[in-house]
């Protein structure tokens, strides 16, 4: 029997059946007998002291079981955790899940109602009385750092300052023929997973089960135990179907802690489901940096040095990874380029806004945007093609493995190949010709071409590295594989999917490794009672770490099976070869299949010494390096100079994500990633007013693109296998988002450069583009 190679096949997903037919297990679909519904009253003030709070008005209302304020949880609620204070000077303020005496952002929970249904709970919220004494809002990062600024916390508004330098920066800038100095703004974003968060928690009086819309059931379980004192072994966390995350569900939330406390206090199952407008206020936000970059170069475009100064808005508190997110840029601003000196500095700033944390790419999109914008600026300064200036600086394919100025070792890549392929697909030269033609004609619709040659460090990550950078945990992943008595295979993974297709991809890996049919593999996940070990899904880590852990577990199963096969076939294990799911005695017809061995192991009637019953094993994988996907994205935009409207004309992405397990899934990740990157460039921004009120609380105000607002994306791939894992795979979940934003903005600036414009702040709304064009003419600015 020969089995087709599964890895590399565009397998349709096993996950789809229930999702397509509505037989889903979203947390809000779940209920336990007697479930009560929780709703939170949230602060309407950005910064205030709670002078008086009275929940008694809610208590007598129909259907209301209980009402509490923060005061009622004071003793037991603990402080929400920050797990990665990477900079040694990080100040972590107390962060009560429900505010007790002071609120620091609009949306912070101050009280809650528990009722028989959500309609009654919503009514009762209006009967709670709160008197606030207003304190000054702190909204602007630069102002927040001034001596006279009002303080978000008593300790001040500086969360940390982190600095790292390599090479002689002063020498690099001294007498440099070209110095580019720019300030870019990464606007604040709302991740906007389609499924709003929900939590259901029940207790039998001794143990607790929490179903929650999370990316991190394992981390959450440990953190909940640490925060609340509920013993970890008495707590089971389940992530049922989870409707997208993009980092926003990589969090230990106030609502999760409070639902656990409410279940404990009331002895009843409690459920909370957020509304979208509540979520826009209180799901952690993303990005929000001011980036000051200086780049020194020789007159031929060779980079001498790069200096990065960031202000990163933490919001009001440090939640799970808040201070670590901007610092993921520390190794990334230098990107694919060689240089003599590099400095990265970042100051985290407290403001009276929703805390920020991971959003698709987390620190790396910001860095990639900064450097890719700078490369275009350098090209413009020198009158070079933006791809040419990149070629003069990037790591050549024959230079891998390459240790970068910031200290990472890139294992593999081929920037030349991806770029050549992208240029051909895009029709680069033809579009440049059209661009010149439109410029010459003074066409009111100008064409711009944007380039982004990105890489990223992903597959987070090696535990030793996390340890050296002061993270609260490592970056391993766990998998286990059980060949059942009937020969079917049950896989358990510590990764916790929410749309990525782990079940399908892991099935492909296992089918190849054990030589069993794809259909015979099932994958379990997302429940700490089923999958006891794991570090969950984020940072494009699932396949490169979790998938490899499963592969390693398969290897152990095969080792065990080999010993059993040798016993059954009465030969030495060394005489056996494994092929297509069977062990064969070399040079004979004698063989036994993995399914037969599974039955024999189950029966255990005749096991050799040292072989335990059941054909199963587990493994933990901890990579010794990150993975470094890369690619070249090219974007053509048409800019209507009369209205400022930007339309994407075409978009080509050629990505190198190493070996591909399932090309359908990889393309899907890229499509979605690019869409989110484009959306940052053109549409999305969380806007606070001068009093610290969020203005973009609904999807009517926070604009997400629909199908009508985006083009098709043309994809292709090159392949440089990763050397840090046996499959040669690299992460892909964040790549599209990281690449796309600078590609689009570079295209817009490219269209407008003849007008003397060298930046447009994101999102590049029609109004911003139009304002940039005011008092400028095409002719007047042409060189």
Bridge-partner residues for 447, per DSSP?
638
**Structure tokens that stand for 480 in this block:** 């286990």
Residue 679 DSSP label: H
According to CB under 8 A, which one of 76, 123, 691, 716 is a site residue for another protein? 123
Asked if 23 touches another protein (CB under 8 A), the answer is yes
186-205: contacts with another protein (CB under 8 A): 192-196
According to CB under 8 A, which one of 13, 268, 287, 502 is a site residue for another protein? 13
Rounded Cα gap, residues 444 and 324, in angstroms = 44
Quick one: how far is CA 554 from the chain centroid? 28
639-668: contacts with another protein (CB under 8 A): 642-643, 645, 664-665, 667-668
Please report how close the Cβ of residue 127 comes to another protein at its closest, in angstroms: 12
Rounded Cα gap, residues 705 and 696, in angstroms = 15
Asked if 586 touches another protein (CB under 8 A), the answer is no
Asked if 156 touches another protein (CB under 8 A), the answer is no
Nearest to 90 by CA among 312, 308, 295, 265: 312
Binding residues for another protein, total number by CB under 8 A:
76
Nearer to another protein, 334 or 504 (CB): 504
Please report how close the Cβ of residue 134 comes to another protein at its closest, in angstroms: 23
Bridge-partner residues for 297, per DSSP?
178, 303
According to CB under 8 A, which one of 181, 298, 399, 767 is a site residue for another protein? 767
Bridge-partner residues for 587, per DSSP?
none
Please report how close the Cβ of residue 255 comes to another protein at its closest, in angstroms: 16
Please report how close the Cβ of residue 370 comes to another protein at its closest, in angstroms: 24
Nearer to another protein, 63 or 756 (CB): 63
Beta-carbon contacts of residue 93 (< 8 Å; ≥ 6 apart): 153, 155, 317, 318, 350
Q: Residue 328: exposed, middle, or buried by beta-carbon count in 10 A (0-12, 13-18, 19+)?
A: buried
According to CB under 8 A, which one of 276, 302, 761, 776 is a site residue for another protein? 276
Nearest to 392 by CA among 406, 375, 405, 380: 375
Nearer to another protein, 40 or 621 (CB): 40
Rounded Cα gap, residues 242 and 198, in angstroms = 10
According to CB under 8 A, which one of 5, 12, 150, 234 is a site residue for another protein? 12
206-265: contacts with another protein (CB under 8 A): 241-244, 246
According to CB under 8 A, which one of 20, 433, 530, 603 is a site residue for another protein? 20
Bridge-partner residues for 620, per DSSP?
478
Rounded Cα gap, residues 222 and 242, in angstroms = 20
Please report how close the Cβ of residue 192 comes to another protein at its closest, in angstroms: 6
Half-sphere exposure of 16 (CA within 13 A, CB side): 6
SS (H, E, C) 21-48: HCCCCEHHHCCCCCCEEEEEEECCCCCE
Rounded Cα gap, residues 751 and 741, in angstroms = 16
Asked if 93 touches another protein (CB under 8 A), the answer is no
Please report how close the Cβ of residue 14 comes to another protein at its closest, in angstroms: 10
Place of tokens 């794991």: 534
Asked if 150 touches another protein (CB under 8 A), the answer is no
Nearer to another protein, 13 or 421 (CB): 13
Backbone angles phi, psi at 244, to 5 degrees: 85, 155
443-482: contacts with another protein (CB under 8 A): none
Specify the pairing of strand 445-455 against strand 409-410. unpaired
Beta-carbon contacts of residue 712 (< 8 Å; ≥ 6 apart): 651
Q: Given the rule CB under 8 A, which of 51-59, 78-86, 420-428, 492-500 is the region that contacts another protein?
A: 492-500
Please check whether residue 78 is in contact with residue 228, taking contact to mean a CB–CB distance below 8 angstroms: yes
Nearer to another protein, 119 or 388 (CB): 119
According to CB under 8 A, which one of 712, 775, 779, 783 is a site residue for another protein? 712
Please report how close the Cβ of residue 121 comes to another protein at its closest, in angstroms: 8
C-beta atoms surrounding 229 within 10 Å: 9
| Side-by-side strand order, sheet with 208-212 | 64-69, 109-115, 36-42, 270-273, 198-203, 208-212, 235-238
Please report how close the Cβ of residue 523 comes to another protein at its closest, in angstroms: 16
Binding track, positions 722-761, relative to another protein; x by CB under 8 A? --------------x-------------------------
Please report how close the Cβ of residue 615 comes to another protein at its closest, in angstroms: 32
Please report how close the Cβ of residue 441 comes to another protein at its closest, in angstroms: 16
Give the CA-trace dihedral at 174, 178, 179, 181, to 10 degrees.
180
Rounded Cα gap, residues 391 and 411, in angstroms = 19
Q: Given the rule CB under 8 A, which of 286-294, 424-432, 577-585, 763-771 is the region that contacts another protein?
A: 763-771
Please report how close the Cβ of residue 670 comes to another protein at its closest, in angstroms: 8
Asked if 710 touches another protein (CB under 8 A), the answer is yes
Asked if 1 touches another protein (CB under 8 A), the answer is no
Asked if 703 touches another protein (CB under 8 A), the answer is yes
How large is the C-alpha radius of gyration of the chain? 28
For 121, the 3-state DSSP assignment is: helix
Rounded to 5°, the CA angle 680-682-685 comes to: 55
Rounded Cα gap, residues 190 and 763, in angstroms = 13
Please report how close the Cβ of residue 474 comes to another protein at its closest, in angstroms: 27
Nearest to 424 by CA among 634, 630, 629: 634
Q: Given the rule CB under 8 A, which of 103-111, 276-284, 469-477, 583-591 is the region that contacts another protein?
A: 276-284
Please report how close the Cβ of residue 681 comes to another protein at its closest, in angstroms: 13
Specify the pairing of strand 521-524 against strand 208-212. unpaired
Please report how close the Cβ of residue 707 comes to another protein at its closest, in angstroms: 4
Please report how close the Cβ of residue 493 comes to another protein at its closest, in angstroms: 17
According to CB under 8 A, which one of 71, 116, 275, 723 is a site residue for another protein? 275
Nearer to another protein, 19 or 580 (CB): 19
Binding track, positions 516-535, relative to another protein; x by CB under 8 A? --------------------
**Structure tokens that stand for 619 in this block:** 């493994």
Please report how close the Cβ of residue 621 comes to another protein at its closest, in angstroms: 24
Binding track, positions 672-701, relative to another protein; x by CB under 8 A? xxxxx------x---x-------xx-xxxx
589-618: contacts with another protein (CB under 8 A): none
Helix pair 766-773, 735-752: axis angle to 10 deg: 30
Nearer to another protein, 212 or 591 (CB): 212
């Amino acid at each position: 029997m020969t089995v087709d190679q599964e890895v590399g096949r565009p397998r349709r997903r096993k996950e789809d059946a229930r999702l397509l037919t509505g037989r889903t297990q979203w947390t809000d679909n779940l209920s336990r007998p007697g479930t009560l519904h929780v709703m939170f009253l949230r602060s309407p003030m950005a910064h205030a002291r709670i002078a008086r709070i009275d929940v008694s008005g809610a208590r007598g209302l129909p259907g209301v079981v209980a009402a509490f304020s923060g005061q009622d949880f004071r003793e037991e609620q603990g402080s929400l955790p920050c797990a990665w204070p990477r900079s040694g000077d990080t100040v972590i303020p107390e962060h009560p899940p429900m505010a007790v005496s002071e609120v620091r952002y609009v949306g912070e929970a101050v009280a809650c109602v528990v009722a028989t249904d959500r309609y009654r709970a919503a009514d009762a919220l209006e009967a709670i009385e709160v008197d606030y004494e207003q304190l000054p809002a702190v909204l602007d990062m630069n102002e927040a750092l001034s001596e006279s600024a009002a303080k978000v916390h008593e300790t001040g508004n500086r969360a940390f300052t982190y600095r790292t330098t390599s090479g002689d920066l002063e020498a690099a800038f001294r007498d440099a023929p070209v110095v580019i100095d720019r300030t870019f703004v990464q606007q604040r974003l709302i991740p906007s997973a389609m499924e709003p968060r929900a939590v259901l928690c029940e207790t039998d009086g001794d143990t607790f089960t929490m179903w929650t819309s999370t990316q991190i059931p394992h981390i959450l379980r440990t953190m909940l135990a640490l925060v609340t004192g509920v013993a970890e072994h008495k707590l089971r966390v389940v992530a049922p179907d989870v409707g997208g995350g993009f980092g926003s569900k990589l969090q230990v939330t106030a609502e999760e802690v409070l639902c656990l406390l409410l279940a404990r206090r009331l002895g009843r199952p409690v459920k909370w489901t957020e509304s979208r407008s509540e979520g826009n206020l209180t799901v952690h936000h993303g990005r929000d940096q001011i980036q000051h970059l200086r780049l020194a170069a020789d007159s031929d475009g060779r980079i001498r040095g790069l200096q990065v100064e960031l202000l990163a808005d933490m919001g009001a508190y440090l939640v799970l990874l808040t201070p670590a997110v901007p610092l993921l840029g520390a190794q990334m601003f230098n990107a694919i380029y060689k240089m003599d000196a590099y400095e990265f500095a970042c100051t985290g700033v407290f403001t009276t806004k929703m805390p920020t944390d991971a959003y698709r790419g987390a620190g790396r999109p910001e860095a990639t945007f900064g450097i890719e914008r700078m490369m275009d600026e350098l090209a413009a300064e020198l009158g070079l093609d933006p791809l040419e200036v990149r070629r003069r600086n990037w790591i050549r394919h024959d230079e891998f493995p390459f240790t970068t100025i910031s200290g990472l070792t890139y294992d593999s890549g081929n920037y030349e190949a991806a770029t050549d392929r992208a240029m051909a697909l895009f029709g680069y030269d033809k579009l440049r010709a059209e661009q010149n033609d439109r410029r010459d004609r003074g066409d009111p619709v100008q064409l711009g071409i944007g380039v982004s040659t990105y890489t990223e460090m992903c597959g987070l990550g090696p535990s030793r590295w996390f340890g050296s950078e002061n993270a609260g945990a490592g970056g391993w992943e766990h998998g286990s594989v059980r060949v059942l008595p009937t020969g079917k295979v049950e896989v358990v993974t510590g990764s916790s999917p929410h749309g990525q297709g782990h079940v399908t991809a892991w099935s492909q890996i296992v089918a190849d490794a054990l030589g069993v049919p794809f259909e015979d593999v099932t994958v379990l996940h997302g429940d700490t009672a089923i999958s006891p070990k794991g570090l969950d899904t984020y940072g494009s880590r699932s396949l490169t770490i979790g998938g490899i852990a499963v592969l390693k577990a398969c290897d152990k199963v095969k080792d065990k099976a080999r010993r059993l096969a040798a016993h059954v076939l009465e030969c030495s294990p060394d005489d056996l070869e494994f092929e297509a799911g069977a062990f064969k005695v070399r040079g004979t017809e004698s063989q036994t299949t993995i399914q037969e061995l599974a039955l024999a192991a189950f029966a255990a009637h005749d096991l050799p010494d040292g072989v335990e019953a059941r054909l199963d094993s587990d493994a933990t994988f901890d990579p010794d390096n990150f993975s470094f996907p890369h690619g070249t994205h090219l974007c053509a935009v048409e800019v209507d100079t009369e209205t400022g409207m930007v339309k994407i004309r075409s978009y080509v992405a050629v990505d190198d994500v190493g070996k591909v397990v399932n090309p359908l899934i990889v393309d899907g990740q890229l499509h979605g990633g690019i869409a989110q990157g484009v959306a940052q460039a053109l549409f999305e921004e969380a806007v606070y007013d001068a009093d610290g009120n969020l203005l973009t609380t609904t999807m009517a105000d926070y604009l997400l693109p629909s199908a009508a607002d985006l083009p098709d994306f043309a994809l292709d791939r090159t392949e440089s296998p990763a050397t840090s894992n046996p499959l040669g795979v690299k992460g892909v979940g964040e790549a599209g988002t990281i690449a796309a934003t600078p590609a689009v903005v570079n295209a817009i600036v490219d269209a407008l450069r003849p007008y003397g414009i060298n930046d447009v702040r994101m999102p590049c709304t029609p109004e911003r583009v139009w304002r940039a064009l005011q008092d400028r003419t095409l002719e007047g600015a042409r060189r």
